[in-house]
Amino acid sequence: MESDNAKKQVPLRLSAKLYAQIAQWAEDDFRSVNGQIEYLLTECVRQRRKTGGYVGKEIDKPLDLDIE
């Protein structure tokens, strides 16, 4: 039986540019890339529980970033 604190491994594919952006952000926040991704997902889930919506109203709108 798994405890609630057990971590799941999830394969994740990111573009090299997106990975580089997340890696820089993680470094700025003194986290590992994995820790940064987990933090960002946790914040999104927390926001959804709090407001019933997503972090941003335009979450599905294409970003004006060169990360693809």
Q: How many helices (H) and strands (E) does the chain have?
A: 2, 0
Helix (H) or strand (E) segment spanning residue 23? helix 16-28
Report the distance separating Cα 21 and Cα 46, nearest Å.
Answer: 23
Distance of CA 28 to the CA centre of its chain: 15
Whether the model clears a pTM of 0.85, i.e. scores above it, the answer is no
Q: At residue 50, does pLDDT exceed 80?
A: yes
Query: HSE-up of 35 (CA within 13 Å, CB side)?
Result: 9
Which tens digits make up the pLDDT trace of 11-21? 999 999 999 99
The pLDDT of residue 44 is above 80: yes
Which of 44, 39, 46, 42 has the alpha carbon at shortest distance from 55? 44
